[in-house]
């Protein structure tokens, strides 16, 4: 234990590791949130672990109990839970602007990085080096999606009824091409009924709050009173909903005025608003919906490009749902929304538009719903539909894995040749993930190197 120190009055001060840290201003917090935006690799689990280490253990800005309480609320919401958790903690510490700064800094570094990588992809994607790298990454992405289905499934499918919901969701989207929103609504309805008639089957078990530790006094500790700005009021709720709605309407009106209601940017804004409200279960869950709309309906990009975008999203910091920025960039570029002489501007603008409409609902959910957390968390009528939706998400993600496998292993369609090299890379990636627990970035780096080497060997042999 650290020895106690004496202050000027001769009194013994509390040990340094037990006394709470000094209060910090929003400006001081800004630099941490900015740093977090550049180091938040590893998907939601890795990002939440980084925040726990930094905020709970190292800096002690918030106690573990309060941290987990906020996390459990964010898990109930549609949208990226790690970004919403950062928004929640920033809001709790520094009011509305604290939440906006924390949430925005979690996203903006990823947006700028993805805009740059997307430009390299569309401008130089056919260069042998770039093509070789993506040749190795695509099979790895297929293994990653399958691993995500397994990871979520082992946590969510606790009984045969939930297995049945997952299987029904898979059949619905694979065999009958049922839209993803319809699957979410049906699963939520089943969960609502199940919570009433068989609550033990739809109760959330375990969770993030199983084990807790004490790391010393925190700025926001277990017994710290709820700040005035975080207390529920009808007026505060109305203000947040009003401002959020006004921002959405203003942005959509600007896009309609720029290109018309059926213009690419307005269509992107409307589509990704709907996508933002359906991201139960994380980015992998909403990708089938993004594929249905962006590839099949609007044709902003191809299926193969969608796989490449997911690969880029896996290699950049920030939430994986930021793959939508790639979708926007490619769509804006190839639709030439500002003409053939402003392709980069078109892509960057579309990426920014898509990001805005994707994340605006997350800010509204936190700023409006934060004060309601205590009254809703842990009640079965709220959690049972989520349990069923998460089960359905497993089936949807398995379908996504099959979709990616089809495009990777038969790049010219089922009548074309089977790509043996891609199959070998995919199997090796799956073994690395399932058996050896290799991290995402080392896995993608190894597969990219293998794809590049194989491409170079083929070019020399040809």
What confidence tier does 226 reach under pLDDT thresholds 50, 70, 90?
confident
Please check whether residue 212 lies inside any domain of the structure: no
Contact of 331 with 338, CB cutoff 8 Å: no
Q: What is the pLDDT, as a whole number, of residue 378?
A: 52
- As a whole number of Å, the CA-based R_g of the chain is 23
DSSP 49-104: HHHIIIIIIIS-SB-HHHHHHHHHHHHHSSS-HHHHHHHHHHHHHHHHHHHHHHHH
Please check whether residue 22 lies inside any domain of the structure: no
Q: Is 50 exceeded by the pLDDT of residue 211?
A: no
Alpha helices in 125-202, H assignment, sequence order: 128-156, 160-175, 180-197, 199-202
CB atoms within 10 A of CB 179: 15
Give tens-digit pLDDT for 353-381: 999 999 999 999 999 988 876 455 456 67
Domain extent at residue 371: 28-202+227-461
Here the contacts of 189-198 (C-beta below 8 Å, separation 24 or greater) are 189/385, 190/165, 190/388, 191/384, 191/385, 191/386, 191/387, 191/388, 191/389, 192/381, 192/384, 192/385, 192/388, 194/161, 194/384, 194/388, 195/380, 195/381, 195/383, 195/384, 195/385, 198/161
Please check whether residue 423 lies inside any domain of the structure: yes
Contact of 141 with 400, CB cutoff 8 Å: no
Among the listed residues 430, 394, 344, 451, the one whose alpha carbon sits nearest the alpha carbon of residue 172: 394
* Separation CA 99–CA 363 (nearest Å): 8
Mean pLDDT of 408-421: 90
Which has more pLDDT, 124 or 315? Answer: 124
Least confident window among 120-134, 343-357, 379-393: 379-393
Among the listed residues 70, 91, 82, 101, the one whose alpha carbon sits nearest the alpha carbon of residue 43: 82
Structure tokens at 315: 């290699």
Structure tokens at 399: 């379908």
Please check whether residue 146 lies inside any domain of the structure: yes
- What's phi and psi for 232, nearest 5 deg? -70, 140
Structure tokens at 424: 């070998």
Q: What is the largest CA-CA distance in the chain?
A: 86
Structure tokens at 437: 């627990």
Q: What is the pLDDT, as a whole number, of residue 72?
A: 66
Give tens-digit pLDDT for 330-342: 999 999 999 999 9
pTM of the shown model:
0.74
- What's phi and psi for 62, nearest 5 deg? -145, 145
Contact of 318 with 107, CB cutoff 8 Å: yes
Q: What is the pLDDT, as a whole number, of residue 206?
A: 38
Mean pLDDT of 268-290: 81
What confidence tier does 289 reach under pLDDT thresholds 50, 70, 90?
confident
CA dihedral 187, 192, 198, 199 (to 10 degrees): 110
Please check whether residue 12 lies inside any domain of the structure: no
Return all residues near 184 (Cβ < 8 A) that are at least 6 apart. 278, 280, 389, 392
Coil, strand or helix at 220: strand
Please check whether residue 211 lies inside any domain of the structure: no
What confidence tier does 280 reach under pLDDT thresholds 50, 70, 90?
low
Q: ∠ at Cα 103 (101, 106), nearest 5°?
A: 105
CB atoms within 10 A of CB 221: 15
Give tens-digit pLDDT for 302-330: 988 998 888 888 778 888 889 999 999 99
Please check whether residue 93 lies inside any domain of the structure: yes
Among the listed residues 382, 384, 400, 324, the one whose alpha carbon sits nearest the alpha carbon of residue 169: 400
What confidence tier does 257 reach under pLDDT thresholds 50, 70, 90?
very high
Mean pLDDT of 177-187: 82
Mean pLDDT for the chain overall: 85
Give tens-digit pLDDT for 57-82: 889 999 887 887 787 678 767 788 88
Give the H or E element holding residue 240.
helix 234-259
* Separation CA 92–CA 31 (nearest Å): 17
Q: Is 90 exceeded by the pLDDT of residue 162?
A: yes
Please check whether residue 410 lies inside any domain of the structure: yes
Total of domains in the chain: 1
Q: Is 80 exceeded by the pLDDT of residue 168?
A: yes
CA dihedral 74, 75, 78, 80 (to 10 degrees): 70
């Amino acid at each position: 234990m650290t020895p106690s120190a004496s202050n000027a009055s001769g009194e013994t001060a509390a040990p340094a590791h037990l006394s709470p840290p000094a209060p910090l201003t929003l400006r001081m917090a800004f630099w941490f949130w900015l740093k977090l935006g550049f180091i938040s690799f590893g998907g939601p689990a890795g990002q939440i672990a980084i925040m726990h280490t930094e905020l709970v253990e190292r800096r002690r800005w918030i106690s573990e109990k309060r941290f987990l309480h906020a996390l459990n609320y964010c898990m109930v919401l549609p949208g990226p839970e790690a970004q919403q958790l950062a928004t929640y903690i920033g809001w709790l510490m520094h009011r509305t602007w604290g939440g906006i700064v924390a949430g925005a800094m979690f996203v903006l570094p990823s947006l700028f990085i993805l805009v740059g990588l997307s430009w390299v992809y569309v401008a130089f994607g056919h260069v042998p080096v770039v093509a070789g790298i993506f040749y190795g990454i695509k099979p790895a992405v297929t293994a990653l999606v399958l691993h995500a289905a397994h990871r979520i499934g082992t946590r969510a499918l606790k009984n045969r009824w939930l297995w049945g919901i997952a299987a029904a969701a898979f059949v619905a989207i694979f065999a009958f091409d049922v839209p993803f929103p319809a699957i979410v609504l049906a699963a939520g309805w089943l969960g609502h009924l199940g919570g009433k008639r068989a609550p033990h089957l739809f109760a959330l078990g375990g969770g993030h709050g199983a084990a807790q530790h004490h790391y010393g006094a925190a700025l926001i500790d277990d017994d710290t009173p709820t700040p005035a700005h975080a207390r529920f009021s009808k007026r505060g709720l109305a203000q947040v909903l009003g401002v959020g709605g006004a921002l959405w309407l203003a942005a959509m009106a600007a896009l309609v005025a720029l290109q018309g209601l059926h213009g690419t940017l307005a269509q992107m804004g409307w589509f990704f608003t709907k996508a933002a409200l359906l991201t139960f279960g994380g980015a992998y869950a909403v990708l089938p919906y993004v594929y249905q709309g962006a590839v099949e309906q609007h044709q902003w990009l191809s299926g193969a490009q969608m796989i490449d975008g997911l690969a880029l999203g896996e290699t950049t910091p920030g939430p994986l749902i930021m793959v939508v920025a790639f979708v926007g960039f490619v769509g804006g570029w190839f639709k030439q929304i500002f003409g053939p002489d402003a392709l980069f501007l078109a892509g960057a603008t579309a990426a920014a538009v898509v990001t805005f409409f994707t994340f605006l609902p997350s800010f509204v959910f936190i700023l409006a719903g934060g004060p309601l957390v205590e009254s809703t968390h842990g009640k079965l009528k709220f959690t049972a539909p989520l349990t069923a939706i998460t089960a359905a998400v497993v089936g949807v993600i398995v379908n996504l894995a099959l979709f990616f496998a089809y495009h990777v292993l038969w790049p010219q369609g089922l009548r074309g040749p089977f790509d043996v090299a891609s199959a070998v890379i995919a199997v090796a990636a799956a073994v690395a993930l399932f058996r050896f627990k290799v991290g995402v970035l080392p896995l993608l780096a190894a597969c990219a190197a293998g794809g590049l080497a194989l491409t170079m060997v083929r070019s020399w042999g040809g």
